[in-house]
C-alpha cells in the first residue's frame, strides 16, 4: 500500500515542469513528479531534485496513489492531444472531487470542452495560464487559473504561494473565472504582448531611421522612459538589447534578420476578436506586421521599385520629438490594453464568465513578459469601478490620453511624411478617434448596402424600424435575398 504523501502531482518534466516543481518544493509543498519517459523521473530525482522533498512516480497509477485527497494533478505537457491522452489515463485512478489542472498553452475552446466533460464525471478541471517562462516558473510565474470554481479553494494556497509577487506583495495569481476563462485570459495576455512589442519596434524604427539616433542614444532614451509611466520589463530589455555589442563592437541587433516568428497565440486573439466583433485593431496589426516582416524577399524587391517620400529628413527639435514619441507610445499602449479588456469583457458576456478585471491586471502586474507599473493603474481603475465600460473612460486614462494626444498626432504626422511604417501606433490613434466620434460615416455605408442589396436601414429618429428606399427610380422588385452582396 503506497502512502499518500504528496500535496500535488505534476506530469511533464520539461524545464517548465521541473521549475514549477522546484518552486512548489521551496514553498513547503510535497510534489510527486511523473514523466511518460520514466527515466526522466529518475534523472530529475537524482539531479535538480536531489536533497528536496520531491517524490517520483513511475506510472500514472503510482502517481495518483501518492496524492492526498482531493488529488491535484497538474499537466505541463504539449497542448493538444497529449493533454486529452493524460486525462484519459488519469481518470480510472481518480475519484469524485479530484482536480486536474492543465498548465500548458491550451487553446481556450479545448479547456471549455474539458471542463464540461470532466464535470460530468465529477472531476474538477482547471485550465491555467502560466506566464513568465522558465525563470518565472522557477521563482514566480504569473498564474491565471480558471475552470471549475469548486477547485479554487483547494489550489489557492499553492498557486498564490508560488506565483510572482507585485511590488506591494500581492500574489500575481487570482481566480480568473469559470470554464475556459484562464486560458482565454492567457491568450489575450499573449496578444497584448504582441502589441507591446510591436509598438516598441515602431518607436525604434522612428528613432533610428527618422531621427538618426545612435544605439547609445536610443538605449539611454529607453532607460529614461523606464523611470516613469512606461516602466516595464519590455522597455527594460529593449534598453539592454540596444546597448548590446557583438564581438566586433557593433550593435548585435543590427545583424539580426528582420523576419519575425510567431507561435500563434497572437493570431488566436485576432481571430477571436473578429469572431466576437470587437475591434482589437492593435493586436491585429501586430500580427500582420509579423506577417509582413516574413515577406523579406518581396520587400527587398519592393524597396527597389516602390516610391516613397523624397529625402525627407526630420527637421524639428529632436529632444522635443523624443518626448512626444514617449507620449505616443504611452497613449497607444493605453488603447491596446483598452481593446484587450473590451475583448475580455465581451467574452465574459458571451460565455457568462464572471471575469475579475482588477484581478487580471494584478496577475499581469508581475512575473510575466508584459509586467509593468502601468498595470497597477489598470488594476486601480477596475478596483474603483468593476463595471467600467471601457478603460479609456477611467478618469486616470482619460486624462493620460488627453494629455498625450497632441504629441501622438504630431509624431504620427511626421512619421507618415517620412514614410516610416507605424501600423500599431497609427491604428491605436484611429481607434481612439473613431471611439470618440458620436457620428461615424456608417450612415453612408448603410445607404450603399440598401442601394445595391436592399439591405434596409434605420433612421436616426426611428431606430428599430427597417426601411428601404427606391434609390434609382427604376428596376423591379428587388430584395436583399436576390442581391446578397
Ligand atoms: C517528459 O520529459 C521531457 C523532458 O525531459 C519532456 O520534453 C516531455 O515533454 C515530458 N513528457 C511527458 C509527457 O511527460
Ligand atoms: C422604383 O421606382 C420605379 C419608378 O417609380 C418603379 O418603376 C420601380 O418598380 C420601383 N422599384 C421598387 C423595387 O420599388
Q: Given 40, 72, 186, 208, which residue is catalytic?
A: 186
- Within 10 angstroms of residue 63's Cβ, the number of other Cβ atoms is 26
Q: Measured from the CB, is residue 168 less than 6 Å from ligand 2?
A: no
Q: Residue 57 in contact with residue 2, Cβ under 8 Å?
A: no
Q: Given 40, 72, 178, 193, which residue is catalytic?
A: 193
What is the rounded radius of gyration, in angstroms, for the C-alpha atoms of the chain?
26
**What's the grid cell of residue 302?**
519592393
What pLDDT is recorded for position 483? Answer: 47
Of 370, 346, 375, nearest to 358 by C-alpha is: 375
What pLDDT is recorded for position 262? Answer: 81
Which residues, judged by CB distance below 6 Å to any ligand atom, belong to the binding site of ligand 1? 11-14, 35-37, 40, 77, 82
Does 70 sit behind a cis peptide bond, omega within 30 degrees of 0 on the bond before it? Answer: yes
Q: Measured from the CB, is residue 482 less than 6 Å from ligand 2?
A: no
Ramachandran category for residue 484: left, alpha or beta (phi over 0 → left; psi -120 to 50 → alpha):
beta
- CA 378 to ligand 1 center in whole angstroms: 38
**What's the grid cell of residue 159?**
498557486
Of 307, 272, 306, nearest to 287 by C-alpha is: 272
The residues with which 315 forms a beta bridge, in sequence order, are none
Q: What is the DSSP letter of 393?
A: G
Q: Residue 160 in contact with residue 22, Cβ under 8 Å?
A: no
Q: How far apart are CA 343 and CA 360, in angstroms?
A: 13
What pLDDT is recorded for position 446? Answer: 96
Q: Is the pTM of this model over 0.75?
A: yes
**Start-to-end C-alpha separation, the chain:** 70
Active site residue 96: no
- Across the chain, which has 485 residues, the per-10-residue mean pLDDT values are 92 97 98 97 97 97 98 97 98 98 96 98 97 92 97 98 93 95 96 97 98 97 96 96 97 97 89 98 97 97 96 89 98 98 98 94 91 94 97 98 98 97 98 98 96 94 94 68 46
Mutate to test the pocket of ligand 2, among 475, 478, 482 (most ligand atoms within 8 A of CB): 475
**What's the grid cell of residue 440?**
461615424
Query: 278: Cβ–Cβ under 8 A, 6 or more apart, which residues?
Result: 339, 342, 343, 346
Active site residue 186: yes
Q: Whose CA is nearest to atom 6 of ligand 1?
A: 14
Q: Using DSSP, state whether 326 is helix, strand or coil.
A: helix
Amino acid at each position: 500500500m503506497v502512502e499518500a504523501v504528496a500535496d500535488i502531482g505534476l506530469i511533464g518534466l520539461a524545464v517548465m515542469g521541473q521549475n514549477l516543481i522546484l518552486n512548489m518544493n521551496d514553498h513547503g509543498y510535497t510534489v510527486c513528479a511523473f514523466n511518460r519517459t520514466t527515466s526522466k523521473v529518475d534523472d530529475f530525482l537524482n539531479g535538480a531534485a536531489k536533497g528536496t522533498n520531491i517524490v517520483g512516480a513511475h506510472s500514472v497509477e503510482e502517481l495518483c496513489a501518492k496524492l492526498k485527497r482531493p488529488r491535484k494533478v497538474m499537466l505541463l505537457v504539449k497542448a493538444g492531444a497529449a493533454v486529452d491522452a493524460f486525462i484519459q489515463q488519469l481518470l480510472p485512478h481518480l475519484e469524485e472531487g479530484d482536480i486536474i489542472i492543465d498548465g500548458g498553452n491550451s487553446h481556450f475552446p479545448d479547456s471549455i470542452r474539458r471542463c464540461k466533460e470532466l464535470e460530468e464525471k465529477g472531476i474538477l478541471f482547471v485550465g491555467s495560464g502560466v506566464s513568465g517562462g522558465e525563470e518565472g516558473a522557477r521563482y514566480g510565474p504569473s498564474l491565471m487559473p480558471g475552470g471549475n470554481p469548486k477547485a479554487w479553494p483547494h489550489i489557492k494556497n499553492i498557486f498564490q504561494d508560488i506565483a510572482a509577487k507585485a511590488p506591494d506583495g500581492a500574489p500575481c495569481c487570482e481566480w480568473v473565472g469559470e470554464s475556459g476563462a484562464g486560458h482565454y485570459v492567457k491568450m489575450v495576455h499573449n496578444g497584448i504582448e504582441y502589441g507591446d512589442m510591436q509598438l516598441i519596434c515602431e518607436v525604434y524604427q522612428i528613432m533610428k531611421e527618422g531621427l538618426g539616433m545612435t544605439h547609445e542614444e536610443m538605449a539611454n532614451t529607453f532607460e529614461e522612459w523606464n523611470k516613469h509611466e512606461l516602466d516595464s520589463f519590455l522597455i527594460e530589455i529593449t534598453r539592454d538589447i540596444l546597448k548590446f555589442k557583438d564581438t566586433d563592437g557593433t550593435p548585435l541587433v543590427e545583424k539580426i534578420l528582420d523576419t519575425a516568428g510567431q507561435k500563434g497565440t497572437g493570431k488566436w486573439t485576432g481571430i477571436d476578436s473578429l469572431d466576437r466583433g470587437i475591434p482589437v485593431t492593435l493586436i491585429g496589426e501586430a500580427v500582420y506586421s509579423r506577417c509582413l516582416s516574413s515577406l523579406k524577399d518581396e520587400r527587398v524587391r519592393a524597396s527597389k521599385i516602390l516610391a516613397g517620400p523624397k529625402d525627407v529628413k526630420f527637421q524639428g527639435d529632436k529632444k522635443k520629438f523624443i518626448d512626444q514619441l514617449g507620449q505616443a507610445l504611452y497613449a497607444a499602449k493605453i488603447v491596446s490594453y483598452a481593446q484587450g479588456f473590451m475583448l475580455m469583457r465581451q467574452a465574459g458576456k458571451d460565455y457568462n464568465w464572471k471575469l475579475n478585471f482588477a484581478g487580471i491586471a494584478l496577475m499581469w502586474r508581475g512575473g510575466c513578459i508584459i509586467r509593468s507599473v502601468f498595470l497597477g493603474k489598470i488594476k486601480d481603475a477596475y478596483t474603483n469601478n468593476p463595471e467600467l465600460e471601457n478603460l479609456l473612460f477611467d478618469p486616470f486614462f482619460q486624462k493620460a490620453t488627453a494629455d498625450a494626444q497632441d504629441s501622438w498626432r504630431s509624431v504620427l504626422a511626421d512619421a507618415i511624411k517620412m514614410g516610416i511604417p507605424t501600423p500599431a501606433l497609427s491604428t491605436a490613434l484611429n481607434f481612439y478617434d473613431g471611439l470618440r466620434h458620436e457620428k461615424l460615416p456608417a450612415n453612408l455605408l448603410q445607404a450603399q448596402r440598401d442601394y445595391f442589396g436592399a439591405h434596409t436601414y434605420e433612421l436616426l429618429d426611428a431606430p428599430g424600424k427597417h426601411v428601404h428606399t427606391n434609390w434609382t427610380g427604376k428596376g423591379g422588385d428587388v430584395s436583399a435575398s436576390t442581391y446578397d452582396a
